[in-house]
Amino acid sequence: MNLKISSSVQRVALIALVAVSLFFHGCRSGAAGEKNPYGLDIVTTTREYSESVKADSSNLLVDLEKHIPGIALEIRYADTNNFTHTEIYTAPKAYLRKAAADSLLKIQNILAAEGLGLKIFDAYRPYAATLYFYEVYPDTTFVAAPWKGSIHNRGCAVDLTLIELASGRELVMPTPFDEFSERAGHNYPLKDTLALKNRALLLEIMTSNGFTMYEHEWWHYNLKERDKYKLMNISFEELEKLD
Ligand SMILES: [Zn+2]
């Protein structure tokens, strides 16, 4: 009996694993980009991406860990601790376009003077993940519409919080990251004055340094000047090879 259950569980797990890896492999090879179901203009090959950087250096996706001393990373989609309960990314990496990375470097330096720093939950996100998120959670308040693509897919959005630099401890915020509830919104009338203060501090420093807020998520910020950047579906492994 036990054997039967365990082999059927294994079979289901195996099928799921094969389905997910086929999905992501397909995306990595560019097939999903070229044949994306919404006909979007997506950069799907490293050659296309490298040419775009050669033509305009601001298209460069910068590795935040290398660019910003002391920045903390907790890339939730590279772990199962996220709303999909699945490892979406194959590497815990955070990349942003050069202008966004430079702004975060400036912000990290300002915060460091107060003993604070940034922790990144997510930054550039390959388009394949946006397709998958909508399948899992088809609510476009909290998950990007795949027929438009996410600003994360353009390398211009970042999900982040504040930490104490010395301990690495997160400052109190209204909700955990990716809690898809009203409480995550900037206008929610919080009673917790500490969470209110910390949310306002993050808002102030981000919006003073080139980012705009997203009203439904305290952790999500978009680069103000973002329209020229294309959607991308290049994997982290491929980006690392180009570094
Ligand atoms: Zn976000």
Q: Let me know: does 123 contact 94? Beta carbons within 8 Å.
A: yes
Ligand 1 centroid vs 241 CA: distance in angstroms? 25
Tally of residues, the chain: 243
Ligand 1 centroid vs 197 CA: distance in angstroms? 21
Residues of the chain by 3-state class (helix, strand, coil), percent to 5: 45, 15, 40
For residue 116, the cross-strand partners are 164
Q: Tell me: the pLDDT tens digits for 146-190?
A: 999 999 999 999 999 999 999 999 999 999 999 999 999 999 999
Enclosing H/E stretch for 219: strand 217-223
Ligand 1 centroid vs 121 CA: distance in angstroms? 9
**Does the pLDDT value for residue 7 go beyond 60?**
no
pLDDT of res. 107: 98
Q: Let me know: does 57 contact 117? Beta carbons within 8 Å.
A: no
Gyration radius of the chain's alpha carbons: 19
CA–CA gap between residue 59 and residue 226 (Å, rounded): 11
What are 170's two structure tokens? Answer: 């997160």
pLDDT of res. 1: 36
Q: Tell me: the pLDDT tens digits for 186-236?
A: 999 999 999 999 999 999 999 999 999 999 999 999 999 999 999 999 999
Ligand 1 centroid vs 218 CA: distance in angstroms? 9
Ligand 1 centroid vs 214 CA: distance in angstroms? 9
Ligand 1 centroid vs 174 CA: distance in angstroms? 16
Ligand 1 centroid vs 1 CA: distance in angstroms? 45
What percent of the chain is modeled with pLDDT above 90? 80
Ligand 1 centroid vs 157 CA: distance in angstroms? 6
Ligand 1 centroid vs 119 CA: distance in angstroms? 13
Ligand 1 centroid vs 55 CA: distance in angstroms? 28
pLDDT of res. 35: 59
CA–CA gap between residue 138 and residue 141 (Å, rounded): 9
Q: Let me know: does 149 contact 42? Beta carbons within 8 Å.
A: yes
pLDDT of res. 66: 96
DSSP assigned state of 170: B
3-state DSSP assignment of residue 118: strand
Ligand 1 centroid vs 122 CA: distance in angstroms? 7
Ligand 1 centroid vs 7 CA: distance in angstroms? 38
For residue 221, the cross-strand partners are 158, 213
pTM listed for this prediction: 0.86
pLDDT of res. 142: 87
3-state DSSP assignment of residue 104: helix
Q: Let me know: does 220 contact 207? Beta carbons within 8 Å.
A: no
- Residue linked to tokens 């003073």: 208
In sequence order, what are the residues at sequence separation of 6 or more whose Cβ sits closer than 8 angstroms to the Cβ of residue 158?
A: 94, 96, 100, 104, 120, 122, 123, 211, 220, 221
For the chain, which domains are there? 2-242 (3.30.1380.10)
Ligand 1 centroid vs 221 CA: distance in angstroms? 7
